[in-house]
Structure 1
Amino acid sequence: MTAAVHGHQARKRFGQNFLQDMGMIGRIVRAIRPQQGEHLVEIGPGMGAITEQLVDSGARLDAVELDRDLIPGLRVKFFNAPNFQVHEADALKFDFTSLMDDQQPLRLIGNLPYNISTPLIFHLLSFGTSIVDMHFMLQKEVVDRLAAQPGTSQWGRLSVMTQYACQVESLFIVPPECFVPRPKVDSAIVRLTPQPPQHPAEDLQLLSDTVRQAFGQRRKTLRNNLKGLVDEAGFADVQIDPSRRPETLTVAEFVALANWRFRQAG
Structure 2
Amino acid sequence: MAKKSFGQHFLLDLNITRKIARLAQVGEGDHVIEVGPGPGGLTRALLETGARVTAIEKDPRFLPLLEELALAADGALTIRVEDALGADEAALAGGAPAHVVSNLPYNVGTALLIKWLTGTFTPASMTLMFQKEVAERIIARPGDDAYGRLAVLAQTTANAALVMDVGPRAFTPPPKVSSAVVHLTPRADRPAPERLAALQTVTAAAFGQRRKMLRSSLKVLGGEALCAKVGIAPEARAETISVEGFLALADAWRA
The TM-score normalised by the length of structure 1 is: 0.90
Counterpart position of 1:234: 226
15, 20, 33: which one pairs with 2:25? 33
**TM superposition shift of 1:196:** 3.1
**TM superposition shift of 1:202:** 5.6
Structure 2 CA distance, aligned partners of 1:196 and 1:211? 22
Identity of aligned residues (%): 39
Structure 2 CA distance, aligned partners of 1:119 and 1:226? 24
**TM superposition shift of 1:170:** 0.4
Structure 1 CA distance, aligned partners of 2:190 and 2:91? 28
- In 2 relative to 1, CA 10–203 (structure 1 residues): closer, same or farther, beyond 3 Å? same
Counterpart position of 2:114: 122
Structure 2 CA distance, aligned partners of 1:236 and 1:166? 28
Counterpart position of 2:72: 80
SS where residue 114 of structure 1 aligns?
A: coil
**TM superposition shift of 1:34:** 2.1
What pairs with 1:1-266 in structure 2 (closer than 5 Å)?
Answer: 9-81=1-73, 82-101=75-94, 103-127=95-119, 130-197=122-189, 203-263=195-255
In structure 2, list runs of 5 or more residues that go unmatched: none
Cα pair 1:200 1:255 within 8 Å, conserved? no
The structure whose Rg is larger is 1
In structure 1, list runs of 5 or more residues that go unmatched: 1-8
Cα pair 2:168 2:174 within 8 Å, conserved? yes
Structure 1 CA distance, aligned partners of 2:42 and 2:191? 36
Counterpart position of 1:6: none
Cα pair 1:214 1:246 within 8 Å, conserved? yes
Structure 2 CA distance, aligned partners of 1:182 and 1:231? 46
- In 2 relative to 1, CA 186–79 (structure 1 residues): closer, same or farther, beyond 3 Å? same
Cα pair 1:44 1:111 within 8 Å, conserved? yes
Structure 1 CA distance, aligned partners of 2:64 and 2:222? 54
Cα pair 2:36 2:56 within 8 Å, conserved? yes
Cα pair 1:152 1:247 within 8 Å, conserved? yes
Q: Deviations over 1:94-127 (max 9, x none)?
A: 11001122x3211001111221111111111134
Structure 2 CA distance, aligned partners of 1:161 and 1:136? 16
Cα pair 2:116 2:122 within 8 Å, conserved? no
Structure 1 CA distance, aligned partners of 2:22 and 2:62? 25
Cα pair 2:12 2:172 within 8 Å, conserved? yes
- Output the amino acid matched with 1:165: T
RMSD of aligned residue pairs (Cα, Å): 1.6
SS where residue 67 of structure 2 aligns?
A: helix
**TM superposition shift of 1:153:** 1.1
Q: From the two aligned structures, give the one with the greater helix fraction.
A: 2
**TM superposition shift of 1:90:** 0.6
- Output the amino acid matched with 1:176: P
Cα pair 1:206 1:262 within 8 Å, conserved? yes
SS where residue 168 of structure 1 aligns?
A: strand
**TM superposition shift of 1:138:** 0.5
Structure 2 CA distance, aligned partners of 1:69 and 1:24? 24
